[in-house]
Structure 1
Amino acid sequence: MVERVEGGGFIRVSYPFFHLASVRSHCQRTSTNADSLLPIPTTHNVDGIQDSLREDLEFETKPNLSDKTPIKTIYTEFGGIVDCINIYQQPVFDHPLLKNHRFQIKPTFENLTEKTLVNNSQIGSMFDLDNEECPQGTVPIQRMKYNFSQEKLLDDILIKDIPGVHVAEAFVPQNHSPFYQVNGICSLYNPKVEKGQISMSHIWVENGPVESSNRITMGWHVHPSMYGDARTHFYTSWTSDNFKKTGCYNTACRGFVQVDRKNFPGGYFPDTSTYGGATYEAYMAITQDLKTKNWWISAGKVNIGYYPAALFSNLGSASIVGWGGRTKANVGGRSPPMGSGHFPDGNRTHESYFRSPKIQGASLIVYTPESFMTKHFSDNTKCYDVGYHDKYYGEVQKESVVHFGGPGGNCGI
């Protein structure tokens, strides 16, 4: 769904905003009707909430469909392969920490922020009704095009201090914690990224010391090495030890529990913004379900899935939340553009941003942080910049914004 805002050239993406645009599909029928809800295995019968990690924290990073028979396989128009797997037999449930996990079909909270935005909008259809989705009782699991080694899965752009990574981010620090949600309406761009480079826009929650940080991120990125293309893809990631031995993107390893039948980590955004022209946006949120303690990933009006509480050693709440962008280049090479590829200048048709950024703190009220609560940081202001304004100075609307980005170039190590 989209909303076109007259005069500003904005297109607000609500739901759904990425999809299975299929060329063909193959169905494999089992003894269970694929169109009916499949039974819950008796092994997943109690909440998987633990206070600490077990010794068997380290898990497989091998291809995660080797022992799962898809009920349906979808071949997308751009060469991707998506398997529709029994919702209760997802590879994630093979994780040692999730053997006794109770599957949560939907969160106990309501997405009141997005509901307000949609109710005040005139919504039309972004996609036709013929797009593919997985049958009832199954969920989409994207096949990885490349066999990433564990090193490539974990040692990446999400670790700030490795060579070639540059950041332009705003965050609310620990002295205002605890936090249970971070959200914002993100502009979507497709910066030019070459082989060996990455450019991303994201929100995140984290807790713990840097060397063993527990962290969840979500947003969009252009990552040719992962997808084999230069499109803008929706992504999410997690770690319980600052990516030393745990964590990955999307469903490349066992961690993320998929719930929605149509939208999934790794899906691409078919439309992105043009500098000075139409701007596409997507609402994104990471929210802890205060009853189950699971962390939900929401985009548009869709609760896509969640990270079970049992995966984490120290994420009963977040001590830091934030918004912004990152890039990665080969060491000694040129860094790619971030966001729109231009420095923020107060014009939303020019810059990459998260508007209406909000957090949920100890009061459990979702609110916009004031400027004095936030900090922002760019490690190379000649390449990228970032700012936070609780009253947006560039336009008539008095709306908070995190804006960031830049052209990249020779940005150093």
Structure 2
Amino acid sequence: MPKSLKMGNTNTTRNVNGFKGVWQMWHEKGEVCPKGTVPIRRSTVDDVLRAKSLYDFGKKRSRSVPLAGRRRADTPDFVSGNGHEHAIAYTTSSGDVYGAKATINVWDPAVEVASEFSLSRFGFCPVPLMALTSTALKLAGRLVRRCIGDSRPRLFTYWTSDAYQSTGCYNLLCSGFIQTNSRIAIGAAISPVSSDGGNQYDITILLWKDPKLGNWWMGFGDNTLVGYWPKELFTHLADRATMVEWGGEIVNSRPNNEHTSTQMGSGRFAEDGFGRASYFRNLEIVDADNSLGSAKDITTLAENTNCYNIMGYYNNEWGTHFYYGGPGKNPLCP
């Protein structure tokens, strides 16, 4: 792990200055996995039916809208297609990246229809994006309302090595991510969640490259390693990343230029602040020396700030952080 971290306890529950850690719902029944095994969420017939075919079961649907001409050359390689909207922060310095860490506020946003989702995510891009290559990669710890078929926020992972074209997979639904931890279930529901003006709950995610073996690891909570993506999955990211992005994403499936009421984050705009708006705090980067440091030189971006927005800040306690989100459809976002 990065030099400043040590292996920790998986339990992240805490109450410090009004925010708390969270856990997974399956632990409420006292369930544990036998030694030498890992928890795997059971796939159901409904899971397969929600996919358009057995071939792409567990895979992310590719985006057919070209990126060129729809964004500045120095912005992340995700904007914009198939109704995806974002409010994100991303690194703008030219330094190499060997990992990143963030603490993510957990909410249960309203989603208008089953074909839409709302998620919080962070991940990496491995090449200079002005090249417009098709090798963008995200290793993501995310809260999602998709693929599972219910409305609970869940921790999930995703990888791709060719910008969603033919490779990649969610969770453990196909090969890629190798889980090593017996206490964290990828795809399991997270509980409890934050409430407006009430207790605030969050999770901490670390994505980090092992400098010895070259695999990319995911950590959860108090520095507990969950599993890894083998270096053989990737080309450019086998060496390092060049950009980190954090933030929210929704899908708007409404026709005729009408906007969805699917919420991002808490459903409130960034300016509502702590206890109302959702946040990412303590954004950190792992450098070539395998050391964690506060993320510097980040830029924020949202396609339609009348629907969802983002505001970045820095202080001694939360380091680099931001609030983000929004309600979607409203008088200024019809």
Instruction: Tell me, yes or no, whether TM beats 0.5.
Output: yes
1:3 to 4, 10, 14: 14
Name the residue aligned to 2:24.
18
Aligned pairs for 1:3-152 (under 5 A) are 3-5=14-16, 8-13=17-22, 17-21=23-27, 131-145=30-44, 146-147=47-48, 148=51, 149=53, 150-151=55-56
Between the aligned partners of 1:202 and 1:349, the Cα distance in structure 2 is: 20
Q: CA deviation at 1:142?
A: 1.9
Give the letter for the 1:154 counterpart.
K
TM-score, normalised relative to structure 1 = 0.66
Name the residue aligned to 1:161.
80
CA-to-partner distance for each residue in 1:172-217, whole Å, 9 max, x for gaps?
13x4321011111111000011311100001111213442213211
Between the aligned partners of 1:168 and 1:306, the Cα distance in structure 2 is: 27
Between the aligned partners of 2:318 and 2:217, the Cα distance in structure 1 is: 29
Between the aligned partners of 1:346 and 1:400, the Cα distance in structure 2 is: 18
SS at match of 1:138: coil
Q: CA deviation at 1:390?
A: 2.3
Q: 1:133 to 1:160 in 2, by over 3 A?
A: farther
Q: CA deviation at 1:228?
A: 1.9
Name the residue aligned to 1:33.
none
Give the letter for the 2:282 counterpart.
S
Between the aligned partners of 1:335 and 1:253, the Cα distance in structure 2 is: 32
SS at match of 1:190: coil
CA-to-partner distance for each residue in 1:54-105, whole Å, 9 max, x for gaps?
xxxxxxxxxxxxxxxxxxxxxxxxxxxxxxxxxxxxxxxxxxxxxxxxxxxx
Name the residue aligned to 1:196.
115
Q: CA deviation at 1:253?
A: 1.6
Q: CA deviation at 1:242?
A: 0.5
Name the residue aligned to 2:70.
none
1:389 to 304, 313, 318: 313
Name the residue aligned to 2:67.
none
- Name the stretch that deviates more: 354-363 or 334-343: 354-363
The percentage of aligned residue pairs carrying the same residue is: 28
Name the residue aligned to 1:375.
299
Q: 1:204 to 1:143 in 2, by over 3 A?
A: same
SS at match of 2:204: strand
1:178·1:361 contact (CA, 8 Å) conserved in 2?
A: yes
Name the residue aligned to 1:213.
136
Runs of 4+ in 1 over 4 A off after TM superposition: 156-159
2:109·2:264 contact (CA, 8 Å) conserved in 1?
A: yes
Between the aligned partners of 2:56 and 2:318, the Cα distance in structure 1 is: 45
Aligned pairs for 1:394-405 (under 5 A) are 397=317, 399-405=319-325
Give the letter for the 1:178 counterpart.
D
Q: Which runs of 5+ in 2 are unaligned?
A: 1-10, 64-76
Between the aligned partners of 1:156 and 1:325, the Cα distance in structure 2 is: 19
CA-to-partner distance for each residue in 1:249-291, whole Å, 9 max, x for gaps?
1112210101111212101112100011110011111111111
Name the residue aligned to 2:7.
none
Give the letter for the 1:20 counterpart.
W
Between the aligned partners of 2:141 and 2:96, the Cα distance in structure 1 is: 19
Between the aligned partners of 1:385 and 1:265, the Cα distance in structure 2 is: 29
1:204·1:216 contact (CA, 8 Å) conserved in 2?
A: yes
Between 1 and 2, higher relative CO (CA 8 Å, sep ≥ 6) is seen in 2
Give the letter for the 1:311 counterpart.
L
